[in-house]
Amino acid sequence: MSGPLAGLKVVDLSRILAGPWAGQVLADFGAEVIKIESLQGDDTRKWGPPWIDGSDDAAYFSCANRGKRSLCIDFRTEAGQKLIRQLIGDADVVIENYKVGGLKKYNLDYQSVKILNPEIVYCSITGFGQTGPKAKQAGYDAMIQASGGLMSITGPRDDESDAGPQKVGVAVADLMTGMYAVAAIQAALIEREKSGEGQYIDLALLDTQVAWLANQSANYLVGGVVPQREGTAHPNICPYQAFPATDGYFMLAVGNDKQFALLCQQLGQSQWSSDERFSTNPSRVKHRLQLVPMIAEITSTKPMAEWLQELSVVGVPVGPINTLDQVFEDEQIKHREMVLAQERSDGVLIKTVANPVKFSRTPLSYDRAPPAAGEDSETLLKEMGLSDAEIAKLRSAGVVN
């Protein structure tokens, strides 16, 4: 392991996306991450198609489990629980996303683990947190996007379409919770250096979703007006949305008055930048229903490529609305080496998207492809001191595979 977290041991008991995403980031940063799976494997291994060529695993699994070693254990059994407690005994971090109290009956909850390892940093991820009237309810990303307010501000305006609220195209509530988990875990590890003690992290998808509403929640808390769906437009900036060309749409992101003046020049309408309705951003936001159609009428007269060239040259922020095939063909994405091709121990080749972080001295660790279910079970059990005979006995009893 070469990353900045080399030497850190993480036991990842989590499934699906939020917890595994956190574990993958820690693995990319150099931590040893041991993924504990049921004998059937993580649920997302079957969330296909598409399937990874030469494998029974869905592509979904590969997006959040790079860099880990897989150990399949039935911890409903006493022997399985004993094995996991042995792993946790010298670990630094545990990540889990079971229902509130779900691990207590297996003596794998924080209070039980803390006795075994007082320095452990134990991160629990649930839909609604460990406390409150909804604590025991299951929480999935789509329902969290809905109940956490995101869908109410995502989708076309009511006067533009009857499509209604829409969720984001990826599970952003899960992903953001995973990223908050990474930050919280590292903060707890830094604090442990001072106190010598671990601690418990209670992280909820709903809390996270509300937390990252950012300017939208600030707009409501300060202004008292409930934000509405704006399509591709920005509630605080104008013009900042998709505009039509003769052959599609492109994104215009004018962030200040100088950029607006440059835009006006390129549109052949320099007088707009001195018009009191449009001269400042607050006035443009106020008069957006007048301004936006005026801009769209002009942009719809030329191909997208011409607008991208003409506007970017003078410093107006503008970009294409790419499909994923176009994203991965983008010269900048290729230059930044954002696609990884890794070979699993059984020879299966798996492509994943690289971690976007670039460290100057401690390069990221890409030593392991997303593992097959139980790929590392035997190796890990032997590292724990078990003999071939003991491993065979556990297998025959259905404790490991």
Active site members: 174
Rounded to the nearest 5 degrees, what angle is found at the Cα of 97, between the Cα atoms of 103 and 45? Answer: 110
CB 70 within 8 A of CB 374: yes
Taking the CB of residue 206, how many other CB atoms lie within 10 A of it?
A: 22
Pairing of strands 240-245, 93-96: unpaired
CA distances from 248 to 63, 229, 266 (A): 30, 22, 19
Q: Is the peptide bond before 239 cis (omega within 30 degrees of 0)?
A: yes
Judge whether 69 and 380 are in contact, CB under 8 Å. yes
Helix 257-267 × helix 288-299 angle, to 10°: 40
Structure tokens at 263: 């835009």
Residue among 127, 130, 139 nearest 104 (CA): 130
